[in-house]
Structure 1
Amino acid sequence: MTFVLVMLAWCVLFVLAWPLALLAIFLLPVLWLLSLPFRAVAVVLEAMFAFIKALLFLPARLLGHRG
């Protein structure tokens, strides 16, 4: 559904301001490539926090607490 809305918005932008729409077509993949390192850092940080949480709650789980 979001793809349809994005395509509809792009078509409206193309009708109203076609140079801006063509610029968006060429710049969006570049911006996506630039955001990849930040996404990788986010995945690593999320995994690290999950590991720390599991490590901190390990004694409670060993004693039988199921929360």
Structure 2
Amino acid sequence: MLNFLLWLILLVLCWPIAILAIILYPIVWLLLLPFRLLGFAIDLSFDLIKNILMLPFNILKKA
């Protein structure tokens, strides 16, 4: 009986949170998408700068 009562309390408390998470997840994902793209672009820029600076050392290493 106690387990059933605890399960009912959990059901009453958690289903609104679950529905809210299902509704808000795509919205939050769309809001964070520009920041992910910006981070990707910055990462590529730093990789490009690193490769340009390391190019002479890579050429000397292969020679």
TM-score range for the pair, normalised by the shorter chain length: 0.7 to 0.9
Q: Which has the larger radius of gyration?
A: 2
How does 1:1-67 map onto structure 2 within 5 Å? 15=11, 16-63=13-60, 65=61
- In structure 1, distance between residues paired with 2:16 and 2:59: 62
Between Structure 1 and Structure 2, how many residues are aligned? 52
Higher relative contact order (CA 8 A, sep 6+): 1
Structure with greater helix percent:
2
Letter matched to residue 50 of structure 1: D
- Which consecutive unaligned segments of at least 5 residues does structure 1 have? 1-13
**Identity between Structure 1 and Structure 2 (%):** 44
- In structure 1, distance between residues paired with 2:19 and 2:57: 57
> Which stretches of structure 1, 4 residues or longer, exceed 3 Å deviation after superposition?
none
- In structure 1, distance between residues paired with 2:18 and 2:59: 58
